[in-house]
Chain A
Amino acid sequence: MKVRAFFFASLREAVETDVLDVDVGDGASLIDLRRCLAARLREDQMAALDAADVRVAVNHRLVHDGEASVLAAGDEIAFMPPVTGG
């Protein structure tokens, strides 16, 4: 199944794209998605995504320590650096 990974701000620049369509196996988790991304991205790009202050949202909802949560086809997974609005 396919999911879409979105990258914002400094992560978009690090990964050099704002979105990647990723083929993950049925029942894949965020950990599996990271594995698929690691196969496509450079080490320094993965390091940016793996930084401790990066938050992940699945379908616009922040996921807290939910790396084991199961993804569904068409899910939108966003990798977001710390926000600064206002």
Chain B
Amino acid sequence: MSIRIQEDDFSLDREWDALRKRIGGSAGSIVAFAGLVRERARAGEEVSGLFLEHYPGMTESSMERIVEQARGRWPLQDVVVIHRVGDLKPGDQIVLVLVASAHRGAAFAGCEFVMDMLKTKAVFWKKEVGTGSKGTWIRSTGDDFERAKHWRNDGE
């Protein structure tokens, strides 16, 4: 398990190798998701970057809670969540989620669940820079909430 917030970039290779070392032969699958900074805002405007802000302490707990919920729903051997903060440029990596499980079904579902919850429940704020003079604070979209809601209705 590894849940981290950092300004620095991360390396999928390094995280992958460390995860494989931890799980040994206990898991039959790893699903990986990485989120990147898009060069265009939803409205189509070009952005020069993103600024990500968090609330030290509370953000970590919100991420831990999401991973705990995922582990309560699926048999996951290990989960890695790395979320970057600070100034990012188009093409930069923002977030990495790795989920290891005995079988792919749980790994796919667990990874998607963690991402959907990160979008709506994790304590981060994102600002598009380069749109207007002061930039634009991003809001979760209807699609983000629908995706998060679908997990609440699913099997509960």
Contacts and interface: CB of A to CB of B under 8 A. Distances in A.
B127 interface: yes
A10 interface: yes
Q: Please classify how large the interface on chain A is, using the bins under 10, 10 to 19, 20 to 34, 35 or more.
A: 10 to 19
B95 interface: yes
B73 to A, nearest CB: 18
A9 B127 contact: yes
Contacts of B123: 80, 83, 85
Contacts, number: 61
Contacts of B95: 85-86
B78 to A, nearest CB: 20
Interface in A32-67: 57, 60
Nearest to B116: A86
A81 B134 contact: no
Contacts of A10: 125, 137
B26 to A, nearest CB: 28
Contacts of B1: none
Contacts of B35: 86
A78 interface: yes
A83 B30 CA distance: 28
Nearest to A60: B58
A59 B83 CA distance: 22
A85 B83 contact: yes
A59 B119 CA distance: 22
A62 B104 CA distance: 35
B115 A84 contact: no
Contacts of B22: none
Contacts of A8: 53, 55, 125
23 contacts: A6-B55, A9-B53, A9-B127, A10-B125, A57-B58, A60-B55, A60-B57, A60-B58, A60-B61, A78-B55, A83-B125, A84-B126, A85-B83, A85-B118, A85-B119, A85-B120, A85-B121, A85-B122, A85-B123, A85-B124, A86-B83, A86-B115, A86-B124
The 5 closest A-B pairs by CB, nearest first: A9-B125, A85-B122, A85-B124, A86-B118, A60-B58
Interface of B: 35, 53, 55, 57-58, 61, 83, 94-95, 115, 118-127, 134, 137-140, 144
